[in-house]
Amino acid sequence: MANHYIIFGRKVPTHVLAITTLGLLAGSIAIPPLLGIKDEETKTKAAKNSPHNIVQNKGEQKEVNKLEKDFSKDQRSNP
């Protein structure tokens, strides 16, 4: 007999779980381009909505770049 898992009280064969996993993976890769969702759009939206994104505008970005440059100069001069 083949192995199976009990999911929500029903016996589910392992090959069904494998096929479902592969189908979901292939669908998540193949469907977004068919819907017209571009990879860059998704990354941009995710980056803007990220709680780790501390830079909200270009003025802040310039300030962050300046601080990074100053920090790297200090690190090079003080070994």
What is the residue extent of each domain of the chain? 1-37
Contact 4, 13 (CB under 8 A): yes
Encode pLDDT of 43-77 as tens digits.
666 666 666 666 666 667 778 788 888 888 877 77
Contact 12, 5 (CB under 8 A): yes
What's the rounded Cα separation, in Å, for the pair 5 and 7? 6
Look at 57 and 25; give whichever has higher pLDDT: 25
Percent of the chain topping pLDDT 70: 68
**What predicted TM-score, i.e. pTM, was given to this entire model?**
0.43
Q: Which residues contact 61 (CB under 8 A, 6 or more apart)?
A: 55
Contact 42, 35 (CB under 8 A): no
| Mean pLDDT, residues 22-41 | 80
Residue 38 confidence (pLDDT) = 67
